[in-house]
Structure 1
Amino acid sequence: MTPADTVQMPRRRFQALAEEVAEAYGISPAELLGEDRSRHLSHPRQHLYALAQERLGWSTTRIGAAVGRDHSTVHYGIRRARERIARGDA
């Protein structure tokens, strides 16, 4: 394994997670990671944030950098996703 592989591996894991979430919600990965803020895309995106933190151990800053959003937006999204999960709405 080269140093470049070591850097690319986490990105690939995040991309695979994004593809998994997109498929589960019936949207494309491009829509999931896009700019549209409509509910049918924001809820899956928030779910992605929560899964990236849980499964990959990524900080909100790192998740934000991966999706082009501020860490506070990611933090809010994780909180909202967990609230929906707790209510059984996810």
Structure 2
Amino acid sequence: MSHKRYPEQFKIEAVKQVTVAGHSVADVAQRLGTTTHSLYAWIKRYGPDSEEHLQQSAESAEIRRLQKELKRVTEERDLLKKAAAYFASHPE
């Protein structure tokens, strides 16, 4: 029996068809030409409750937080630059 190797992205997309799109495991497995056993294993590894998925979600949240902070700090810097230029051009 030959074991077919699937790329990781293929597995993740297959899991999304079940977890996000709501298709049945049997239907997705049949359409993709894999076994339900393999698909259940992929769901366990790449699904919404997997450790890897939770870590990626935490990393994404941290990235969003840092982007928001960067935007705020950039706006503050730009405001201070404008204030410095104004006061430099209007000496008392």
TM-score, scaled relative to structure 2: 0.47
Whose radius of gyration is greater, 1 or 2? 2
TM-score, scaled relative to structure 1: 0.48
